[in-house]
Structures are given as C-alpha cells and as structure tokens.
Structure 1
Amino acid sequence: MPKVYRTHDYGHIPIQDIEDRNLCDFVQIANLTIRELCEKQNANLLICPPQLDAYKDNLADNCIFTIDEQNLQTGDLLGFIGKNESQLTIGTRFAKDSSEDYFLHYMLQKVFRINLLDLKHSTSGEKIFDFLVYMFPFYLKRALQQGLYKEYIHRDYNDANVRGTINIPQHIRHNIPFSGNVAYRVKEYAYDNNLTQLIRHTIEYIRSSNMASVLKIDADTEAYVSQICSATPSYRRGALSSVIVKNLKSIRHPYYTEYRALQKLCVSILQHKRLKYGIGDNRIYGLLFSGSWLWEEFLYKTVLNECGFLHPQNRSGKGGIYLFHKSNADIDFVMSRCKRYPDYFKENCILDAKYKHLDDNRIDRNDMHQIISYMHVEEAGIGGFIYPTSQDNVTVTKLGDLRGYGGSIYNIGVPIPKESGTFAMFVAAMKNVQQELKEKILALC
C-alpha cells in the first residue's frame, strides 16, 4: 500500500511532514508541467480534459505541484498522482475532509451528465473508480460520434470460399484427408477488433459494478453501448488480460482521434486497482482533473446556459468573437489569428469563470485586461468574474465603472455548501445556490 498524503487545491504540505523516501518520489514529479509528463508517455497518468492545449490559461503548461525548501505547493489540479509507493491526493478546498469531497463529485456528475444522489463507495479509495466511470459515457459518445472504429485485422478461416493466403500448416492439421475445406488467412476491415473489444470489456465491467446505471443515463449512451455489443460477437470474458495488453499502445489513426482518450480511459477503468494501490515499477500513475476547466463547464451546464449565454469552444473553433471587422482587413489574418474565445457572452455581457481565490477582489492584471478587451470589442456594458467561495450567499460586488467607452465590472461569488450531512443534502443545497445565482445573473445582465 502506498503512503498517501492529502491536501487541497492551492494548498501546501510542509516538507518536514513528508518522509524522505516519499519526498524523493515527489521531487521527480514536482515542477514538471503536464505537457512534460505526457511527453514522457506515462500511460498510467490520465489527465482530463485530454486536449489541454485547446483550452484557456495554458493548462498544459501548469505544474501539478511545486516543491521548494519549505513546502509542497499545489495549484488548481484535482485528483491524485503517485510514483512507486508515494501518492498525493488533491481534493477541493471546500471539502470538510478528504474522505468524501462532495463538491468535486457534484461537479464531475454535472459536467459528465451523471445523476447520482448517493455515493456508494465503501472507502475513499473507491472514489478513483467512481471518477473514471463518470467519464465513460462522455468519452464513449464523443468517440462513437466519429463512427464505429474499424481497422485491418488478420483472421483465419477454414472453408471452401478461399479469399486469402493459404495457411498450409493449419490446412494439413485440419483438412487431411481433404474434405473440401481450405485453411487460409485474410486481412479484412473489421469492427470487431482490439479497441472495440476493450470498450466491450469496459462495458461489461461497469455492468457488474455498483455504478451500472451510468450505462443508461440517456438514449445516446444506451444506443452506443448496444452498438459496441453488437459489433463484438467474439467477446470472451477470459480474454481481458490479453485485450488490455494489446491496447497499452495508443492508437494513432488520423480520423478516429476521439478514440485515443476513450482507449486510455478504458484501460484505466479495467486497471483501477493498479491505479489505487500503485504501480511499483518507477512509473508515474494517477488521475487528474483541471479545476478551472471543471468549474467553467459546470457553470455553463448548470446555470449560464439557461441564462442565454453562449459558451465558445476553442478546441472545435465554434463560437468566439473577432477582434477586427472582416470587411476591411486581411481575411486570412483575421480568421486564423484574431478570433478570441470568452468563457461566456451574450448581447451586453461578458463573464469569465475563475477557480481562484477572489474574495479579496484582487484580480490578476492579465485577467482584467482580457475581459476589458472583450467588453470593448463586443460593446458590452457588463463584465464579471465568477468564482467559488466559502461565504454563505451569492455575492455580486461591483469592482468599478470603466473610463473611456464605459461599462461595469463585477465579482460574483458562488457559495459552496458545507458538507454537513449526506450527499443528497449537499445536492439539494447546491440546487438552491444555482437558482439564486441564476436570478442574480439575470438581474445583472
């Protein structure tokens, strides 16, 4: 069992509280960016969202944690990471203790569109499995929207319809004396392959768990699950180990790009005990979520979508605003270099999600310059930062009125309920917060 150290986002652990052997492992991870860790092909390290370069704030260039002479300091990443027998668990700063972390569960369920009112894991370690399974329908739908994955595979046949290379050893073994059949091997484009088998094994594994309901969260998920099952008639439960081994190397198909993240997720789900108890062979392992990405997606899917805001997608190039008029500029320059993606905007309002501590109203100068630029280009009269807070009510604080073209900027604090009681009670309290936030944003914008 690994030695587990627990902290929260934007937290720290004094170096003196970490044993020397564990500190040695952590030093090899500290001060490295996610990009650097991923470039080293740490197959047992799962990062969400997987396309970090496509999102704001240079997520790929964030460090998981840093170490100086006094402290191990974390940033906005959540989850756990480890090496050998040393593991660091990072929860949200709003958790009463590290055993449950209702807020992280709630955000994950809303972002990945899972609706569970009970946390059924028996130990804190089982949360890892919960988090992996939350993501499965989300990534399954994204992958299957590109079509059912197929690839060339070699298959052996023994019949009279020869359409490939004759397999002489197999023919001698099975067809002497000659009975009319010929043993042969053919290369064919098939849906029943190593990757779809991996997805099928993951489906069957989840079905046997206490989170089987995630496979029926909506009609699309049920349809895609059924499609995978129909496409894998050669599925055998006993082939699990060999299927995992054949999927340890990530696919590199130029079209089926969404399957890479699904493949890695499936391997992680099927190997979750290895993730939970450590690898033990000097490799880095873990599961990490970007707190800022989760917070941004959570706000849109629970409140801001209903308030009429648009949520541009940098990765797909959808939405966004242009800095120049298309009519009087180099159109290639404008289209390729001058499109920006605010977190949320509508007619007269630009909002920016921040997972930082903003109770003191100290806004980073780059964040302030960015939202002022967006307001100027869109001629918006309202701009604001939305952040989570430990206060009791939704707060709307006016930071000031802009000179020049005018406009007002606000700080909007969203209270995160205390973890007093069951998860169902926390969910009910969060729904009240969401309703209050919706009313105040509609009144503001």
Structure 2
Amino acid sequence: MRTTDNNGGYLFKNEEFIHKENLSRIANKSLLNLQESNADLLIFPHSLGVHKDDVEKSTIFSMDDECITTYNLMGFVGCNNSQLTITSRFSNEDDKDYFLHYMLQKVFAINILDFDQKSNKENIWDFLIYLFPYFLKKAYAQGLFKAYRRNEYNNANIKGTININRHIQKNIPFRGHIAYTTREHSYDNDITQLIRHTIEYIKLHPFGKGVLLKDNETREIVQKFIFVTDATYNKNERNKIIAKNLKPFAHPYFFEYKLLQKICLQILRREKLSYVKDENKIYGLLFDGAWLWEEYLNTLLKDKFIHPENKTGKHKQYLFEGNKQSIYPDFISKDKPFIVGDAKYIPLDKQGSYNENSERAVSIYYKTLAYMYRFNSTKGFLIYPTKNEENLYEELKIQDTEGILQKIGLAIPQNVNNYNHFTQRIIINEKILNII
C-alpha cells in the first residue's frame, strides 16, 4: 500500500482490506512503544523520548474501519506480508520522492547517486547506505570500539586456558604446541567486524564506492576499520557476525555505536527485512518530517540565524530570569533587533483546520508570538513547504501593536523531469527566500 504524509485520511481500496489486520498491529500506537519492542523498526530522530519533545507520543498512523490517517512520518513500515509506504505529500502518486531525498541530502551532507534509475522501494533502502558514513563518523568520534574477544591459539607461547579437547585433536603426536584460549581486549571484535562486513557489502552496491569515498574523513575511517579487522575478516562468516550482533548494544561510553549497529544490521539484512516471514514482526524505516524540515531549514538559515537544539541543549534560552524554564525557539537571528522563527511542516496554506479562523491555527501561532514577546521582537515568521509554483508570503499584523508575523511558504517544485531538475529548481526558490 502507498500513501503520503498528512494525507487527511486514505480510504482503503477493495483489494487492500486484506492488510487491515496486520496494519492494526502498528496503528494508533506510540512511536516509543513500537520502537522499544521492535528492533527492526528504525525511526529518525533516533533519540525518541530522551528530550521531552513529545515526538515519541505520536503515532505512525491512525486507522479505523475505512481509512488510514498519516501525520508527519515518512518512509515505510510493515508487518507480516503487509507493507505501507508513506512518501512526502510533495511526491505525486507515480513519481519518485525527490523532496524527501533532497532534505536527507542537505541535512546529512550526502551525495545521492543514480536516483532516477531505481524504484521507490529500492530508494527507501538506499537511505540507509546514504546515512552510513554520517553515523560512522559520529561513532568514530568516540574512538575505535574496543571489547573483549575470545581467541583460540595453538603454539608454544601459552598464555591462557588450555583447551584439552582441541589440544588432543591438533597436537598428537606432541610437537611442542599447546592449544589454549585467551580473552583479550581488542579492536577486532563483533561490533567492528559488523562494520567491516557492512563496508564490504556497500562496496558491491552500484553507487557504494561513491558513498564510501565521498570525502577524505570517510575514506580514512573506513581504512581504519579495514585495518583492525583484516586479520580475522571472512566474508563467509557474515551470518555468524550478524547473529552475534542481534542482541541490542549497550555501552556507557561508546553509545554512538548503538545506532550504527542497528543501521549495519538493517543494511546487511535488507533482503530478509524486505520479505520478512516472522509472525507479527514489525519492521521499517521512518523519518519524522517535522524534525527533518527543521534541520533542512537550518542549512539554509544558519548564516544569519541561531538554531537552538533541544536534543543537545545547544543555544539553550530561558523564559524567565534566573535561568528558569528553558525554551528552544527554532530560529533566532544573530543580530538585533531579534527576529524569531518557527519551522512548520504542516500544510499552512491548506484551508480548513489550518486557516486563521480555527482554534488549531491560533495555537500554532501562540508559541512564536510568545517567543517574540520574550526577545522583545516585532518580527517573527512561520515557514512551511508548499506545492505552489512560487514562494508564498503573507504578513499578519498583530492587533494594536507594531508586531508582524510573516507566513512563508517555500515552493517545492512539482512536475519535474528528474532529480537534477528538481534540485535546480528548489535551489532557485531557496536563493530568493525573503525573510523580514
């Protein structure tokens, strides 16, 4: 099945009712609960529930007897033989999801290759390969992972526990060697072997070399993992290494390796997850559109605006004196007089629940207006994506004040021939983006 984000309700087609039972295991459940109980479900941002941003309380989709209603999540999710693909709402039914790929390219600084030669399903899996260098760098920033490893030797330099059975098998008649086992702290371990197998798998992908050789830092890190695993790497032991890594990773210091392990497992188990047979097993790859849209806008605005991050505490602000009540406006101008802005992935140009006369719309404005008051600002903006041919601008004058709230719709190109055409057009729209 296929639908878009924020679909307003997708009615089941007659042939799709057979998927209702499987999809009901996913519908109306919080992201946090789904992710905690399903290791093969990968959701970005991966820090759900840690930063009290309420993302973890949302659902992938809600469902009743007749329809599925989606929200801000994009990607795919499945259970048993049922799979639901959720593209961005800026992807036409028969087109590729250029907008989602473009945001990923900007946020994670990745090169997207051969996009137009692949099916939509293949492109969804390719997200993981695109993201691999980004999370490899984050993990390596904590150092090469080191762990205890059990090694077996058969020589005269005994320094561990003698293995009697193996010694009898290998050393009779006796020739001076002893079979023994040691437990050694090593860079060559199950985690680094998993990363090595993933590197070798990606090398065989049609654009894998372009991903692994995209910059000097990536190349150097890849070579480090190849070097420390070269003595014991065996491509025929891939399934064995995968099995050893199925237990969730936990380490008080090397915590960045946890997500990298999950990404490696999904890349290596790609075919199995595509045709998963385990009963009632939920699997998938999803991106929160609101988070991705905000991070994408930061790549456009970072020269003139600060982007406070509630996920890291960077540029934390406070509402009251004495550092009371921390707040995180999406954007604050670096220069005074301050301009504050809010990223909105919801369709603010859509009539109905988002128009100025609805209670929901008023609540959307409240936060930005509060931030304007806090920073003594007379200028604020909301920025959202739109299918309009050109960027949209609307100024809302705040009653009996000098304050102005600007609604900005960044035009997402439609009716494009290919990914390069889409990129060229959206770059033009980005360059002429006019913020008060």
Q: TM-score, normalised by structure 1?
A: 0.90
- CA gap of 1:122–1:16, structure 2 versus 1, over 3 A, is closer
Assess if the C-alpha contact under 8 Å between 1:202 and 1:270 holds in 2: yes
Q: Which amino acid aligns with 2:41?
A: L
Equivalent in the alignment of 1:261: 259
Instruction: For residues 163-222 of structure 1, give each alpha carbon's deviation from its aligned partner in whole angstroms, at most 9, with x where no partner exists.
Output: 221222222222334333322211111111111111111111111111211112222211
Instruction: For residues 3-46 of structure 1, give each alpha carbon's deviation from its aligned partner in whole angstroms, at most 9, with x where no partner exists.
Output: xx111011132145454431111112110111111222x12111
Instruction: For residues 348-402 of structure 1, give each alpha carbon's deviation from its aligned partner in whole angstroms, at most 9, with x where no partner exists.
Output: 1111111001015546444322222222222233211110001121222112236
Does residue 119 (structure 1) correspond to residue 115 (structure 2)? The answer is yes
Instruction: For residues 387-419 of structure 1, give each alpha carbon's deviation from its aligned partner in whole angstroms, at most 9, with x where no partner exists.
Output: 000112122211223656x53211111000014
Query: Structure 2 CA distance, aligned partners of 1:78 and 1:383?
Result: 29
Does residue 418 (structure 1) correspond to residue 405 (structure 2)? The answer is no
Does residue 205 (structure 1) correspond to residue 207 (structure 2)? The answer is no
One of 356, 364, 388 as aligned partner of 2:346: 356
One of 134, 137, 142 as aligned partner of 2:138: 142
Does residue 21 (structure 1) correspond to residue 25 (structure 2)? The answer is no
Corresponding residue SS for 2:175: coil
Q: Which amino acid aligns with 2:329?
A: P
Instruction: For residues 80-126 of structure 1, give each alpha carbon's deviation from its aligned partner in whole angstroms, at most 9, with x where no partner exists.
Output: 11111111110111112254111111111111211236415432221
Corresponding residue SS for 2:306: coil
Alignment root-mean-square deviation, CA: 1.9
Assess if the C-alpha contact under 8 Å between 1:102 and 1:419 holds in 2: no
Assess if the C-alpha contact under 8 Å between 1:91 and 1:98 holds in 2: no
Query: Structure 2 CA distance, aligned partners of 1:117 and 1:205?
Result: 17
- CA gap of 1:415–1:17, structure 2 versus 1, over 3 A, is farther
Corresponding residue SS for 2:340: strand
One of 374, 380, 383 as aligned partner of 1:383: 380
Equivalent in the alignment of 1:43: 39
Assess if the C-alpha contact under 8 Å between 1:128 and 1:276 holds in 2: no
- CA gap of 1:349–1:265, structure 2 versus 1, over 3 A, is same
One of 325, 336, 358 as aligned partner of 1:338: 325
Equivalent in the alignment of 2:395: 398
One of 288, 291, 296 as aligned partner of 2:289: 291
1:162 Cα deviation after fit: 2.2
Corresponding residue SS for 1:379: coil
- CA gap of 1:402–1:54, structure 2 versus 1, over 3 A, is farther
1:55 Cα deviation after fit: 5.8
Query: Structure 2 CA distance, aligned partners of 1:60 and 1:98?
Result: 31
Equivalent in the alignment of 1:10: 6
Query: Structure 2 CA distance, aligned partners of 1:106 and 1:143?
Result: 24
User: Which has the higher mean CA deviation after the structures are superposed, 104-113 or 362-371?
Assistant: 362-371
1:262 Cα deviation after fit: 0.8
Does residue 214 (structure 1) correspond to residue 204 (structure 2)? The answer is no
Assess if the C-alpha contact under 8 Å between 2:113 and 2:207 holds in 1: no
Identical-residue share of aligned pairs (%): 41
Corresponding residue SS for 2:49: helix
User: Which has the higher mean CA deviation after the structures are superposed, 100-109 or 362-371?
Assistant: 362-371
Does residue 189 (structure 1) correspond to residue 185 (structure 2)? The answer is yes
- CA gap of 1:310–1:18, structure 2 versus 1, over 3 A, is farther
Equivalent in the alignment of 1:250: 248
User: Which has the higher mean CA deviation after the structures are superposed, 393-402 or 101-110?
Assistant: 393-402
One of 65, 68, 75 as aligned partner of 1:72: 68
Query: Structure 2 CA distance, aligned partners of 1:305 and 1:207?
Result: 34
Which ranges of structure 1 fall in alignment gaps of 5 or more residues?
A: none
Query: Structure 1 CA distance, aligned partners of 2:326 and 2:15?
Result: 46
- CA gap of 1:20–1:393, structure 2 versus 1, over 3 A, is closer
Q: TM-score, normalised by structure 2?
A: 0.92
Assess if the C-alpha contact under 8 Å between 1:121 and 1:127 holds in 2: no
Query: Structure 2 CA distance, aligned partners of 1:375 and 1:389?
Result: 25
Assess if the C-alpha contact under 8 Å between 1:92 and 1:104 holds in 2: yes
Query: Structure 1 CA distance, aligned partners of 2:270 and 2:113?
Result: 23
